[in-house]
Amino acid sequence: MKQIYYKSTRGNEKGVTSAEAISRGLSADGGLFVPTSIPKLNIQLKELMRMNYKQLALTIMKEFLTDYEEDELKECIHKAYDEKFDTHMIAPLVKQSRTYFLELYHGPTLAFKDMALSILPHLLKTAVKKLNNNKEMVILTATSGDTGKAALEGFANVEGTKIIVFFPEQGVSEIQKRQMVTQTGDNTFVIGIKGNFDDAQNGVKQILTDDNLLEKLEEKNSMFSSANSINIGRLIPQVVYYFYAYTQLYNMGDIKIGEEINFSVPTGNFGNILAGYYAKKMGLPIKKLICASNENKVLFDFINTGTYDKVRDFVITMSPSMDILISSNLERLLYSISGQNTEVIKNLMEDLNVNGKYEIDSTMIKELVDFYGGYATEEDTSKAITEVYKTANYVIDTHTAVSYAVYQKYLEETKDTTKTVIISTASPYKFTPDVMKSIDAKYIGLNDFELIKQLSKITNLDIPAGIVDLDKRPVLHKTKCEKDEMQRQIEKILNL
């Protein structure tokens, strides 16, 4: 097997193992770790068709994590994808009224982040052991709602770690917030910031590369890592479910081996859809990756013009996990479509930092052919929830609704009849006010927890275990801070 190494998108580091890239999270130069090449699948596609999720995960992940022993990966996968998921399928593909939804919310926190964050702690612990590293790992995480709880769930009470999560105090749903602030675990810390997700993410990135702070950590025999999708250990596990969707479509009898399909992906920080791009590069027959944005349509504009401009109004929408203007994982795509030109990436990121925008050249624009960019307004999103419920008696969350709405626009514009999978990223139970009022105006005015019960009634499904009695759990994390006080909070937690 060809050995895969990792380098920074900005070029100052080359040739580190996946274990080192995962343990560090972010390169010292501020760039993101990327594989020096995307591995090609070394078995025939038809051999994947009878694999369960764990078998498929091993097959895909061992191509990227070549310094991990197969037994090490098997153990990580076995511990990650177990009874904490409420279905043995892990990520079932369901067909509703001729539309396919890949349900990625059957993990403990009811969101797709569980697909990667269930395994990241195990990959990280194995990496630390492989590197003979006895330092305490301090996991820094910024969240727009779902990553925070999934990371807390994954790292709570993991020996040798602390996890610190920052979330926008006014930028998450009530259910998302309650999931985080009621988190148990002596090594968990949750802080609400007075700002948006971009503020939280920028703060974490700056802290991860602050030389003075890193020296203080070194003195205490500690080191930073990240549970955000800037960590390559978050991204690689996500590649698996694109292949899994394909195998399920085949096993339904709805496609033939080698037939191309599309994916419509609700997109904020660009990690989810980038995993689909990596799957295509590995050899999965994907025709189009439909990048679905909400009214914070910075990615829509980029894909359609080649200009990325974050200087715009920040919109708080009913799909808060996508309320993002700085899509960090886009840097990995830029690295790929620039021909791995790290100088180009450094210049683009400098332009973004200084001017708030950058433009790619015509050669790079042509490389965006794999993507279609669309966006859904708040009205579009609500209508999508209503339409799917009325036509299929199936309830989708607000983020999935963005993906569905953009796919309908894609269909109308292109007339492309290629079978398309809607990536369903969260349970409707996490966003009940907007979901339920889209279904029927009579639900307006009920609080989130009353709406959970109403949603259970209309779906005839049990309330997921992760949120049963959530409103009765004690609030354990009450700290709030200004966006420029994040480092001070970390120093206080770590006694630096």
Which tens digits make up the pLDDT trace of 25-38? 999 999 999 999 99
- What local confidence, expressed as pLDDT, does residue 206 receive? 94
pLDDT category of residue 7 using cuts at 50, 70 and 90: very high
pLDDT at 474: 97
Report the alpha-carbon distance of residue 283 to residue 250 in Å, rounded: 16
The pLDDT of residue 192: 97
Structure token digits, residue 191: 């802080």
- Are 19 and 231 a contacting pair, CB within 8 Å? no
Which entry of 113, 177, 205, 297 is annotated as an active-site residue?
113
Count Cβ neighbours within 10 Å for each residue of 183-202 and write b for 16 or more, e otherwise: bebebbbbbbbebbbbbbbb
pLDDT-derived band at 156 (thresholds 50, 70, 90) equals very high
Residue 42 banded pLDDT, cuts 50, 70, 90: confident
pLDDT at residue number 415: 97
pLDDT digits (tens, 9 = 90+) for 137-152: 999 999 988 899 999 9
Q: How many residues are there in the chain?
A: 496
Confidence of residue 399 (pLDDT cuts 50, 70, 90): very high
Q: CB atoms < 10 A from the CB of 166, how many?
A: 29
* Cβ density class 322-346: b for 16+ within 10 Å, e for less: bbbbbbbbbbbbbbbbbeebbebbb
Structure tokens at 491: 């120093």
Q: What is the mean pLDDT of residues 171-180?
A: 94
| Rounded Cα gap, residues 123 and 111, in angstroms | 20
Q: What is the mean pLDDT of residues 442-460?
A: 95
264-280 residue pLDDT tens: 999 999 999 999 999 99
Beta-sheet pairing, 357-359 with 371-375: unpaired
Q: What is the largest CA-CA distance in the chain?
A: 61
Note the pLDDT of residue 495. 94
CB atoms within 10 A of CB 380: 19
Mean pLDDT of the chain: 96
Tokens read off for 335: 């690295």
β-partners of residue 274 are none
Q: Identify the CATH assignment for 93-110+233-462 out of 3.90.1150.10, 3.40.50.1100, 2.40.50.100, 3.40.640.10.
A: 3.40.50.1100
Closest CA to 278 of 15, 45, 64, 496: 64
End-to-end CA distance of the chain: 44
pLDDT over threshold 90, residue 431:
yes
C-beta pairs of 454-458 under 8 Å, 24+ apart in sequence: 455/395, 455/428, 455/429, 458/395
pLDDT confidence of residue 1: 72
Using an 8 Å Cβ cutoff, are 10 and 342 in contact? yes
Question: Which pTM does this prediction carry?
Answer: 0.95
Q: Which amino acid is at 271?
A: G
Q: How many Cβ atoms are within 10 Å of 420's Cβ, its own excluded?
A: 19
Give how far Cα 293 sits from Cα of 283, 299, 304, 367, 485, Å: 26, 7, 12, 20, 30
Overall average pLDDT of the 306-331 stretch: 96
What is the amino acid identity at position 455? Answer: L
pLDDT interval class at 14 (50, 70, 90):
confident
Q: According to the model, what pLDDT value does residue 2 have?
A: 85
Q: How many CB atoms lie within 10 A of CB 90?
A: 25
Q: For 238-268, write each residue's pLDDT tens digit.
A: 999 999 999 999 999 999 999 999 999 999 9
Domain layout of the chain by residue ranges? 93-110+233-462
Output the CA–CA distances (angstroms, integers) from residue 145 to 264, 370, 428, in the order listed. Answer: 21, 28, 14
Average pLDDT over residues 284-311: 98
DSSP 39-64: PPP-S-GGGGTT--HHHHHHHHHHHH
Q: Give me the pLDDT at residue 125, please.
A: 92
The DSSP line for 179-240 is: HHHT---TTEEEEEEES-HHHHHHHHHHHHT-HHHHHHHHHTTEEEEE-STTSHHHHHHHHH
pLDDT-derived band of residue 112, with 50, 70 and 90 as boundaries?
very high
Whether 419 sits among the annotated catalytic residues: the reply is no
What are the pLDDT digits (tens) for 48-104?
A: 999 999 999 999 999 999 999 999 999 999 999 999 999 999 999 999 988 999 999
Closest CA to 294 of 265, 272, 274: 265
Give the per-residue pLDDT at 280.
98
